[in-house]
Amino acid sequence: MSCGPLYLGIDVGTQSLTAILIEAPPPDGEGKDRASRVAARATVHYDSELPAYGTVSGQLPNDDPAIGRVPPCMWIEALDLALERLGGDLCGKVCGLSVSGQQHGSVYLRAGSDRALRSLTADRNLAEQIEPLLARSEAPIWTDSSTGRECEEIRRALGGAAATAELTGSNTFERFTGPQIRRFARTRPDEWTDTAHVCLVSSFVTSVLAGRLTAIDHGDGSGMNLLDIRRREWSPAAMAATATELERRLLPSQPPWTVVGAIAPCFVSRYGFPPDTRVSIGSGDNPCSLVGVGVREPGEAVLSLGTSDTCFCLMPDIAVDPDANGHVFIAPSGHPMSLICFRNGSLAREAVRDRHGLDWQGFEDALRSTPPGNDGMMMIPWFEPEIVPRVASPGVVRLGGLEDAPEQAAANCRAVVEGQFLSMRLNSEWMATRPSRILATGGGAHNREMLQIAADVMGCPVEGHEATDGAALGAALRATGRRPYPLPPAGGPGPAAAPRPQAAAVYDRLLARYAEAQRRALGP
């Protein structure tokens, strides 16, 4: 099939690297956007295809389960392999490219790295050219939870959890880059002294592609506990609370639509990219995923119904969670975006399903057979420790006559789902933005009855969406340089639901009751 100009999106994920080429046609004659089209994709699975690095589920094995580390050269070798699979015929039609990187991961480079990046050659192994630039042979990634001490130290220095969130958009969390930098500087002082530049995964890979050190964009930078979320520049207070002389090691933070330059000559020689291929600044996988599913306007949200449930929403203005449980990042559009994560997502739904011996069809039938509001029976579904709100010890709360009994199987199915969406609505009120449209992704997005409950509780339409390679797609759409970004490729029609006025009124009344039950369950 012949192709027009192409745009390349590269997602450096946890277990694989994915490269996607898209065609993004201009708006039609009436100015309406047309969906882009995937022209090609290539995926490299680290464990099976790059076994020399010895990773398990994309990271180096460690006796301490709190440690999550990756050899950065593995990402560069995966990039090389993915571009080789796409081939010169396609790479030769690329107009622009952009990188999505797993958020919070960090890479540490020595002095002289910028000069070395400008000297990359096509006749030598790319990873072998990058390896001498690393001041640290391993990169901590988002799975690392070894920084509890550092989180507390930074949080205390910045005046507490609420003050930290007010400044940086989030409380300190173990996976965030700032605490990871602090731990590295404290435990490996010689390597920290050898570090001249701190990169994120997205800016590291973008620097290799551009053949020069590139800035960190506002979206990925807002996942570091270092960016002043309102001023959109590095916070002197946060840097001082994190590590000595951090300011000179951080490259500037720039807007998400920044073009960093043309592709490095070695990629022109090696893969046939046009010399003027535009390289856009990289960003994190969370902001890129928002673009990849087609969210472009404030009030639009993405609800990922997976092992945990995650809600992203574009906001017109910055609002910060006073309880410091949610996050505020900067979206590729420049709008603030919220992110809240509930650990008890599919984990809780599966616990109820399995307790009553149902399959997913039986679970959906149970939802269909019970009324909105569940005749007053409610559940706070903390089957596991919860993230929002923070609950360290699990404990399921049943109210209104609900019992864990076989004869109440259907009532328990509805109670767990209603409880999850009531919690989502209650614990997102700090955003001061009720969603106008929700795109649902993940396994739960196929459950029509669950989407109907979400629509009724949240008071807006909910559309099921098949999100495959959303972060890579988002990067490719960002690479077009168009604002607003083009629409993603049209997926197959999924289930959809609109709020029903009578049911929505039931949940409006139940919300206050749920809020009081949560308050009591959390205790003083």
Question: What domains does the chain contain, in order, with CATH numbers?
Answer: 6-287 (3.30.420.40), 294-466+493-524 (3.30.420.40)
Q: What is the mean pLDDT of the chain?
A: 95
Alpha carbon distance 482, 71 (integer Å): 34
pLDDT band at 82 (very low <50, low <70, confident <90, very high): very high
pLDDT score of 28 = 82
pLDDT score of 433 = 85
**Residue pair 470/441 in contact by the 8 Å Cβ criterion:** yes
**Residue 376, burial from CB neighbour count under 10 angstroms (0-12, 13-18, 19+):** exposed
Task: Summarize pLDDT for 384-430 with one digit per residue, the tens.
Answer: 999 999 999 999 999 999 999 999 999 999 999 999 999 999 999 99
pLDDT band at 483 (very low <50, low <70, confident <90, very high): confident
The mean pLDDT value for 500-506 works out to 97
The mean pLDDT value for 313-328 works out to 95
The mean pLDDT value for 246-264 works out to 97
pLDDT score of 490 = 77
| Residue 293 in this model has a pLDDT that exceeds 70 | yes
pLDDT score of 325 = 93
Give the three-class secondary structure for 361. helix
Nearest CA to 470 out of 441, 499, 433 is that of: 441
The β-bridge partners of 487 are 35
The β-bridge partners of 423 are none
User: How many alpha carbons lie under 13 Å from residue 241 in its C-beta half-sphere?
Assistant: 28
pTM listed for this prediction: 0.93
| Residue 494 in this model has a pLDDT that exceeds 90 | no
**Residue pair 225/232 in contact by the 8 Å Cβ criterion:** no
| Residue 368 in this model has a pLDDT that exceeds 70 | yes
| Residue 14 in this model has a pLDDT that exceeds 90 | yes
CA distances 479 to 10, 199, 209, 260, 336, Å, are 10, 20, 13, 11, 20
pLDDT score of 29 = 79
Nearest CA to 469 out of 449, 491, 445 is that of: 491
Answer left, alpha or beta for residue 357, where phi above 0 means left and psi between -120 and 50 means alpha. Answer: left
What is the SS3 assignment for 456-524? HHHCCCEEECCCCCHHHHHHHHHHCCCCCCCECCCCCCCCEECCCHHHHHHHHHHHHHHHHHHHHHHCC
Query: For the chain, give me the number of helices (H) and strands (E)?
Result: 20, 24
pLDDT band at 31 (very low <50, low <70, confident <90, very high): confident
pLDDT score of 492 = 62
H helix intervals, 147-306: 148-157, 161-168, 177-187, 189-194, 201-210, 218-221, 236-242, 265-271, 285-292
| Residue 4 in this model has a pLDDT that exceeds 80 | no
pLDDT band at 30 (very low <50, low <70, confident <90, very high): confident
Alpha carbon distance 190, 193 (integer Å): 5
pLDDT score of 493 = 64
Exposure string of 486-520, with b = 16+ CB inside 10 Å and e = fewer, is: bbbbeeeebbebebeeebbebbeebeeebbebbee
pLDDT score of 1 = 44
pLDDT score of 108 = 98
pLDDT score of 383 = 95
pLDDT score of 466 = 79
pLDDT band at 3 (very low <50, low <70, confident <90, very high): low
> In the numeric block, which tokens belong to residue 458?
């949240």
pLDDT score of 128 = 97
| Residue 194 in this model has a pLDDT that exceeds 70 | yes
pLDDT score of 137 = 96
The β-bridge partners of 311 are 303, 340
